[in-house]
Amino acid sequence: MFLFQLSSHTNTAGGPAGGAGPDGLILVGELLVVTAYLIVAGVLFYLALKRDDKERRRVMLLFGFIGLMGGAVHLLNIWGGPAAGDAQLILRLIFGVLALIAAIRLFKAIPGLLAIPSLNQLTRANSKLQEQVEERKKAEAALRETQQELEQRVRERSAQAITANRELEREIENRKKTERRLISTNYELIKKNADLDDFVYYASRDLKGPVLNVAGLVEAIREELPTDNPELGQLFAHLDDSVARINRKLNNLAEVSRIQKPISEEQLGMVSLTEVLDQVKESLREPLQDSGALLRADFTAMPEIYFSRDNLISLLNNLISNSIKYREPQRPLHIFLSSELQDRYAVLKVQDNGIGMDLNRYGQQLFSLFRRFHDHVEGSGIGLYIIKRIMDNNNGKIEVQSVLGEGTTFLLYFVHHEQHTGARV
Amino acid sequence: MKKLKGILLIDDDDTNNFLNHRLLTRMQVAEKIREFRNGKQAFDYLYNISQGHYDTASSEYFKPALILLDINMPVMDGFEFLSLFEKLDESFRKDVVLALLTTSEHSQDTERAAASSIAYLTKPLTTEKVQGLLEEHFPEFRS
């Protein structure tokens, strides 16, 4: 293109250059200007080609175009000179208009160009950004620190939790062990109780034979010996008494072991209190007569009780025997039996005017096995124990009221059952 | 006074056998009395007699009219003896009276005795108890 311009210039230079000297200089100046314009336009186009942002590319292209137009106008100066025809003038006009259009277009690009930050702005923004980045980094560092702290705390807490958990597990394990120990202790106790029951039963059973033999042998010896020796008579009396006592104790033990056996359903039924009392009165006829006891009974409020007949006999037998044993010798013995319904209990009351007892002193041990509080009468210390066991075994209870010197009242509470049906209320 | 042909005492307690033997001898209620220390010995003896495996000339062997039986004994107890005895011939058993004689007043034992409908006596054996038993089971002793 430059060569063409040169050649075209040489071609056309003949006219004006041939005219005057300054014309040649003008031509060279024009040529330089065209060259500069074209170089500028080329650079701008090149830059527009390389730039990737739309705004600048457009501006570069417009500037390049204007440069190109400028170059073209100056080129027309070289080519045509002052003698150029109308065509040249028209071309100049077109180029000028095009350049103006481009320049006007350039105006439109101003806001876009203004929007493009300057290097200073960028630097400032950059430094600001860097500051922000720094701050972010600091914040991040602080955050990390906090996080680490938190993690540390979480770890510590977890460690604490794990420790606590282990302690808890140990505690649970300990409790389980204790529980197992308790269960085994309980089992042992049940077994020991059963062993004791068995022992009482077998001891009373197996000792009875030899004791009876001794009694029989004492009798046989008595028959073989002369009867006229008073000293022997005294010895035999003591021997008889001792043997009888052993025998009684064994019978008591046998009775204790008997009531410890659970009662079967068949033994339970509606039992008439009057009938049972008659039976007991019969078996206690002798002591009742000897003591001159006045025995009255009123079972109209509650004539029957759902219970084991044998047990009821044992209860009345023991209570009436007690009233006889612990009667006040200064006054005639009165025993009064009555029954009534109280809430869910059938209550049997045995009241006497005997010597009474100090419940504050003896109440705690009243129902203990082999506990005795008097020595003026023969007793085994099992009567009240048996009563208590019988009531306990049947979900009942026993209460005692007593005034020293005035008398004693025993209250037996039986679980109440509807008459005849046997259904529990 | 009439006498039973023979009485067997079955009890592991020698002293008790001795005392009962003495009592029965003094009461003069039996021609012969024999003691056994457990149910097995007594049953073997009775089995031999029921099968005729014995020396009829010997006074050691006799068929008892009454057997007094203890319950608690080693080797074979009273109830085991009873169940075996019931397997012997009806004809052999029909004129033999069995009575339990024991210290046990345990309802379990008395109920079993009642179930097998045999007499039940508690120790010690006395003249009155023997008299009552004889009157109840042997018409010849009723006055």
Q: Measured in whole angstroms, how far is the alpha carbon of residue A269 from the centre of its chain?
A: 48
Q: Name which of B143, B102, B125 is nearest B27 in CA terms.
A: B125
Helical axes B14-27 vs A119-224, angle rounded to 10°: 30
Predicted confidence (pLDDT) per residue in B46-70, tens digit:
998 888 888 777 878 888 999 999 9
DSSP class of residue A98 equals H
How far apart are alpha carbons B138 and B131 in whole angstroms? 10
What tens digit of pLDDT does each residue of A316-355 get? 998 999 899 888 888 999 999 999 988 889 999 999 998 8
Chain A residues whose beta carbon lies within 8 Å of the beta carbon of residue B105: 254
Rounded to the nearest 10 degrees, how much is the dihedral formed by the CA atoms of A40, A43, A48, A53? -100
pLDDT tens, residue by residue, A122-179: 888 888 888 888 888 998 899 889 999 999 989 998 999 999 999 999 999 999 999 9
Chain A residue with minimum CA distance to B126 = A216
CA angle A330, A333, A336 (to 5 degrees): 150
Cβ A305 vs Cβ A414: under 8 Å: yes
Taking the C-alpha atoms of residue A72 and residue A83, their distance in angstroms, rounded to an integer, is 17
Would you say residue A4 has pLDDT above 80?
A: no
Residues 6+ apart with CB under 8 A from B27: B127, B130
- Chain A residues 191-220 with a CB less than 8 Å from chain B: 205-206, 208-210, 212-213, 215-217, 220
Q: Which residue of B has its CA nearest to A220?
A: B19
**What is the pLDDT averaged over residues A187-213?**
83
Q: Do A205 and B19 touch (CB under 8 A)?
A: no
For residue A105, what are the CA distances in angstroms to A50, A114, A118? Answer: 21, 15, 22
Please determine, for residue A367, whether its predicted confidence score (pLDDT) is greater than 70. yes
Checking if the pLDDT of A195 tops 90, the result is no
Phi, psi of A232 (to 5 degrees): -60, -40
Of B19, B104, B106, the CB nearest to A217: B19
Q: Do B13 and A215 touch (CB under 8 A)?
A: no
How many angstroms away from the CA of B104 is the closest CA of chain A? 6
Closest CA to A331 of A356, A349, A348: A356
How many Cβ pairs within 8 Å bridge chains A and B?
34
Amino acid letter, A21: G
Nearest to A215 among B13, B106, B124 (CB): B124
Closest CA to A315 of A263, A272, A276, A342: A276
Would the CB atoms of B103 and A220 count as touching at under 8 Å? no
Q: How confident is the model at residue B9 (pLDDT cuts 50, 70, 90)?
A: very high
Domain B4-141 of CATH type 3.40.50.2300: yes
Q: Looking at the complex, report in whole angstroms how far the Cα of residue A333 sits from the nearest Cα belonging to chain B.
A: 33
Q: pLDDT tens across A17-45, in order?
A: 444 467 778 888 888 888 898 898 898 88
Burial of A184 from C-beta contacts in 10 A (0-12 / 13-18 / 19+): exposed
Which residues make up the CATH 3.30.565.10 domain(s) of chain A?
A: 265-415
pLDDT at A376 over 70: no
For domain A265-415, is the CATH number 3.30.565.10?
Answer: yes
pLDDT in tens, A86-131: 778 888 888 888 888 888 888 887 877 777 777 888 888 888 888 8
What are the residue ranges spanned by the domains of chain B?
A: 4-141
Closest CA to A16 of A91, A82, A89: A82
pLDDT in tens, A261-272: 666 777 788 889
